[in-house]
Each structure stands twice: as structure tokens, then as C-alpha cells.
Amino acid sequence: MTISTATPADGPLLQVDDLHVRFPISGGGLLGAGRRMLHAVNGVSFALAKGECLSIVGESGCGKSTTALAILGLQEPTDGTIRYRGRMLSGPGAPGRMQRAKAVQMVFQDPYASLNPRQSVRASLAAPLRLHGITAASEISDRIEAMLADVGLTPEQAVRYPHEFSGGQRQRIGIARALILEPEIVVLDEPVSALDVSIRAQIINLLLDLQEKRGLSYVMISHDLSVVEHMSDRVCVMFFGQIVEEGGWRQIFETPAHPYTRRLIAAIPDPEVAMGRRAGAERFAGVPSPRGRDFVSDGRVAPDVFVPPAPSELVEIAPEHRVRLALSARSADVP
Amino acid sequence: MTQPLLDVDGLKVDALFGRYAHPIIRDVSFRIMPGEAYGLVGESGSGKSVTSLGVMGLLKKPLRAAGGEIRFKGRNLLTLPKREMRRLRGNRIAMIFQEPMTALNPLSTVGRQIAEMFVLHQDKSWAEARELAVKALESVRVPNPDRRARNYPHQMSGGMRQRVMIAMALACNPDLLIADEPTTALDVTVQAEVLRLIKDLCAERGTAVLFISHDLGVIASICQRVGVMYAGCLVEENETRALFSNPRHEYTRGLLGALPRLGSRSLHGRQRLVDIDSIIADRSALTETRFIAPRDGQEERP
């Protein structure tokens, strides 16, 4: 692979540092008056280890998809860095699209919208291979055949077009398309939320099998917390452009510290809770704010996206478990 | 014994393509008691939405009712004249849909759209109706109902629009509310609020609910009784608690095992999700077996 350089084996595969994305929004005023900046992502940092599934959860508008686009290079960050094996993926000196495509790929929410309806499955899988210099017809068909077998499709299905497949099969094609260049990182953007319950199970099982078999690293964007709990190794909870809590899946789901995380978990309709077999949201009550400091927001009031968020910091409350707290110095400023 | 509010008895619905009639609903029967919340769960294409359209009298070509009866307070809705049905619809039976934006008129304020319900069904004057509309918005916990009544649908968030739909549906105190995936398009925290709202309001007013969803968790949090639909058949029906703790039909068991459940990973470790297609070999045999549990204290009568 072209991008890979000598990196210490234990370093993270992907390192995102202090990522900011701002969009200029023109107001109604004349002469550029009222031109404001929308703060979509405000200082997001995380590291992805090899073979790990990191989930970014949050509600619509929290910046999780913008973060994913920045990793893919489809959105230029306003500030901050994204490194892949120690090499910059953004800013000057960033690799081109071709090189990046071999490192990071994406599986989309709606496979029908992301596949070309006029291309057969074979054509759609062969194009990236040809672009990356694999021209021998026999090698192309071998790789396509192997790829289709991996995602649970038959070689005969390669000559068909996307509309001839069911929703679950289309998502399999979407996954094959993402994996055909053998990337190390796959960004999954709500990979199962458009699918029916029974198909959802098949795709989740497939994604976990492929991860194990190929040693893939996933960045999963999702709002479905039960799927997140099932699949992730680590979880970042985002609220209006910031990570408010970060930790291992067990820490996030068993001892969530931030009120927003607790609210998200409590909001999932849970049959066990509904039937009184398990305590509901009350099970998190009474856990005091760590270190007696304030949370910046409890996630009830939507902050103004045109104003940069108040200063705050991620504080480690347990090994690898961090939560966002207001700067302790702030209360001292007030006379 | 109390009479059921809605009694769907042997309903059959076909899709007519030329001379060929394709069965969509094959012999579905269930009852909803006054004030009861009944859930229909199933995957896309199982026929749950078509059943609800049948109850609303909204079956359009190529769909047609091919047999059975839908009795609402003893009257068969399938043979009711259109005029009568129109009087019932919106007034005694109301419906909320998945996507409120397509159900609301974009060219009219939400206040006017709610007021219309009172003018049409309760012979109120527009001035009176407008005041009632503001009250209706207040009852669904819309902040600043006075100001919000003058908003157009596009000025509201998804959760607010769904609240408007609920206000419209409950405006005339219907006996039955049909909710077809009302929270699927919403964010989780908003979904929790809207579910709470439907549950509270219907309990308060004694409105019965026919709740349609593919999400077993949502159904469990709102319904007392659940029917599982598969390929146009009601394959299992039971009290919610009994259905979850003791699913008897193969398909219900598959459906329960196909969902990752919150907390199960920390209890049992990561378990492979059940692939329904792999456990179901013969689909036609599946729709023939049915497990319908009788209601408490009510033996099935001929």
C-alpha cells in the first residue's frame, strides 16, 4: 500500500485531533451582513485502533455525519488534523482520492441510492479495481467472485442490476463495493437503519464476521443504541458538535456518567423495562456528577449552533472513560 | 361481557391485477376492547398497514376487501355507505401516520387544520374552532400554543409536527386511534416523548389504540396485547408480557432473537443474532400454524 509508512505497530490506525468543521451561512442582510458561521463539529478527537469498532452516536444534527465525511475526505475540516498511520489525511500534503480510497471506504445507509442503477454488480465492483491498476480480466473476475462469496452472494448474481435485488442483498452489494479495494477502515453510516428486522440481523452478523475475518476497523455512525451496544468496542456520544462522553461499550451502557448519555439510553423503548423486569432510567439516578463539577449541558436544551460552545474539557473519570465537564476555572472568574 | 370496540373477523384483502387476485391479507381476526392498546407487529409486506387501511375504509385499487367483516361498535365498516364512513372517519376513528409532513397541508397553518376538525365534525363556528385548536395544541404539550397555531408545518420540527397530528387525531375524542409507525421517523429522545404523549392522552380519554410498528420495543412500551403478522396472517396473539416471555410461534421467536437487545451483551456476551430466513425452511407451513391466546376471563364463544 502506498500510504503506509513505518509506524509503530501499537499506534492508532486513525487519529483525529481537535477536528472543527464550520459552515458559513449567509444571513438575510445586504452586503454580506448577517453572515454567520454554523459550528457543526467543535473539537472532536478520537483514536481508532486496528480491528476495533468505534461508534459515534447522537441525534440528528449533532455532527456525527460531518465527522464521518471529514474522515473520508469528502468534507475539508476547518481546523484540526486527521492522521492515518501517522500520515496526514487532511490539509496540504494530504494523499489524493485514489490513495485515500485504499485506506478508508464507506457503507451507506440506503444502498439503493448509493449504487448506480445502470451498472450491473460486476461493473460496479470492477470499476474501482480497474482505476487502481488491476487490469487483468482473470484477476478482476477472481476478486469479484471472492468478494461476492464473502458477502453471501453467488457469482451468477454479478450480472444483475441493483433493482433486481432485495434490500438486504443491496446492502450486501454496498458492503462488497466498500471492501473490494481492501481498505483497513470502513465508515458505516447507519448501516442497518433502513432495513427490516430480520435482514438487519443478517447484515449485523455479516459485518461482524467480515470484521473478524479481515481484521477491519469500523467507525460506525448510528442513533440506534441497541445495535451500537451489540457491535462496538468503544463508543463516543456526540451532542451538538462535541463528544460529551467516551468510553468502552460496557462503561457507556452500564455506568453512563453524562446526563445526555443517560437520557439517550433511557429513551430506547426496552421491552424488559416496559414489562417491569428491569429497572428503567431510574437505574442511573443518583450517580453524582464526577468530581463535583458541572456538566456543560444536560442535553435538554438545544444550544445555539451559531455560537461556539462554552469552554469545557474531557475529564477521565475511569481508565479510558472520559466525560465532558465545564472548566473548573470558570466559577472562579465570577466575582 | 363488554362488547369489543373493533372486531376484525376473518378479514381477507386481495390485490387485483386484471383477472388475477393476489391475496394480501388472508383471514385475519382480532378484537380491540374499548380503551385497550393493541399492537400489530411485523415486517414490511406482512400486511399490517393494509389491515389498518381496511379499518379506515381507505382501501384503494388494486386493493379490495374480499371477505370477512370489520365491525366497529357492531356495525360492519366494509358495507357502510361512503357517506356514513366519512362521518366516522376522523370523528370516531382517527389515524396518525409515519411521516407527518406528507399528511399535513403545507399551505395552511396548523391551527386552521386542527380547527377544521371541529368545524367538520362538531358544527362549531370557525371562531370557536380556532380557540379549541389552541387548546388541543396545549393538550399535546406544544409550548406557546397560541403562537404555534399560526405556524405552517414547515416551520416546525418533526416531533412538533407529530404532536400536531396527534392533536388533530384526538380533536374529536375518537373511540379508536390508529397509529401507523408514528415514531419511526423521529430521533430516539423525541420518540420517547411522543410515545409517552400517546400513552398518557389515550389513557386519560379512554381511547383505544391500534398501534402498528416493526419495533417490538415500541410495541411493548405502549400496548397491552400484541398480534404478530407474517405474510398476511396473524400468526400469534397474546398479552404483551406473555408474548415476550413465552413466544410460541417460530416466527415470533425468530423476530425476538433477531433484535440486539439492550443489556443482553453484558449479561450473556455477544451472541449471534437469529437469522429468521435460516430457521424458516417452509414459509407456507408457517402461516398455517397459529397461536392465539384467549383473553383473560373470557373464553372463546362460537
Q: What is the CATH number of the domain that holds A43?
A: 3.40.50.300
The domain locations on chain B are 6-92+172-292
Q: Are strands B37-41 and A87-88 parallel, antiparallel or unpaired?
A: unpaired
**Cell (9 digits) for A84:** 492515518
pLDDT, chain A, mean: 86
B272 shares contact with chain A (CB less than 8 Å): yes
Which carries the bigger pLDDT value, residue B153 or residue A283? B153
In the predicted structure, residue A1 carries a pLDDT above the cut 70: no
Q: Chain A contacts of B241, Cβ < 8 Å?
A: 275
Predicted confidence band of residue B161 (pLDDT cuts 50, 70, 90)? very high
- Could you report the per-residue pLDDT of A172-217, keeping only the tens digit for each? 999 999 999 999 999 999 999 888 888 899 999 999 999 999 999 9
Q: According to the model, what pLDDT value does residue A9 have? A: 53
Nearest CA in chain A to B41: A197
Predicted confidence band of residue A286 (pLDDT cuts 50, 70, 90)? low
Predicted confidence band of residue A34 (pLDDT cuts 50, 70, 90)? low
CA distance B181 to A271: 17
Chain-chain contact of A267 with B244 (C-beta, under 8 angstroms): no
Residue by residue, DSSP assigns A304-334 as PTTSPPPPEEEEEEETTEEEEEE-TTHHHH-
First to last CA, chain B: 14
- How close is the nearest chain A Cα to the Cα of B151, in Å? 20
Which carries the bigger pLDDT value, residue A175 or residue B292? A175
Cross-strand bridge partners of residue B237: B227, B292
In the predicted structure, residue A335 carries a pLDDT above the cut 50: no
Domain count, chain A: 1
Nearest CA in chain B to A273: B221
A4 located within any domain: no
A201 shares contact with chain B (CB less than 8 Å): yes
| Structural domain of A286 | 14-333
The mean per-residue pLDDT over the stretch B29-53 comes to 92
Predicted confidence band of residue B13 (pLDDT cuts 50, 70, 90)? very high
Q: According to the model, what pLDDT value does residue A176 have? A: 95
Q: Which of residues 281-300 of A touch B (CB under 8 A)?
A: none
A72 located within any domain: yes
Q: According to the model, what pLDDT value does residue A281 have? A: 65
CA distance B169 to B194: 14
Phi, psi of B36, rounded to the nearest 5 degrees? -90, 145
- Could you report the per-residue pLDDT of B275-291, keeping only the tens digit for each? 887 777 666 777 777 88
- Nearest CB partner across the interface for A226, out of B189, B190, B262: B262
Nearest CA in chain A to B241: A275
In the predicted structure, residue A5 carries a pLDDT above the cut 60: no
In the predicted structure, residue B133 carries a pLDDT above the cut 70: yes
Q: How much of chain B exceeds pLDDT 70, in percent?
A: 96
Decide if B185 contacts B215 (C-beta within 8 A).
no
Domain B6-92+172-292 is of which CATH architecture? 3-Layer(aba) Sandwich (3.40)
Q: According to the model, what pLDDT value does residue B111 have? A: 95
Local structure of residue A209 (DSSP, 8 states): H
Numbers of helices and strands, H then E, in chain A: 12, 12
Chain-chain contact of A223 with B191 (C-beta, under 8 angstroms): no
Test the A interface: residue of B186, B188, B214 with most A CBs within 10 Å: B188
Cross-strand bridge partners of residue A20: A42, A79
In the predicted structure, residue B302 carries a pLDDT above the cut 60: no
Most confident of A118-122, A254-258, B271-275, B278-282: A118-122
Which carries the bigger pLDDT value, residue B72 or residue B279? B72
Q: What is the ipTM metric for this complex?
A: 0.82
The mean per-residue pLDDT over the stretch A154-170 comes to 92
In the predicted structure, residue B301 carries a pLDDT above the cut 50: no
Which carries the bigger pLDDT value, residue A63 or residue A112? A63
The mean per-residue pLDDT over the stretch A43-53 comes to 94
**Cell (9 digits) for A163:** 433493482
A6 located within any domain: no
In the predicted structure, residue B300 carries a pLDDT above the cut 70: no
A5 located within any domain: no
- Nearest CB partner across the interface for A226, out of B192, B260, B270: B260
A1 located within any domain: no
Predicted confidence band of residue B299 (pLDDT cuts 50, 70, 90)? very low
A7 located within any domain: no
A46 located within any domain: yes
In the predicted structure, residue A153 carries a pLDDT above the cut 80: yes
The mean per-residue pLDDT over the stretch B194-223 comes to 93
Q: Chain B contacts of A229, Cβ < 8 Å?
A: 260, 262-263, 265
The mean per-residue pLDDT over the stretch B87-95 comes to 92
The mean per-residue pLDDT over the stretch A100-110 comes to 90
Q: Chain B contacts of A250, Cβ < 8 Å?
A: 266
Q: According to the model, what pLDDT value does residue B145 have? A: 94
In the predicted structure, residue B27 carries a pLDDT above the cut 70: yes
The mean per-residue pLDDT over the stretch B172-188 comes to 91
Q: According to the model, what pLDDT value does residue A249 have? A: 94
CA distance A322 to A56: 14
Of B114, B109, B161, B154, residue with least CA distance to B134: B114
B43 shares contact with chain A (CB less than 8 Å): yes
Q: Chain A contacts of B224, Cβ < 8 Å?
A: none
A/B interface, count of CB pairs below 8 Å: 112
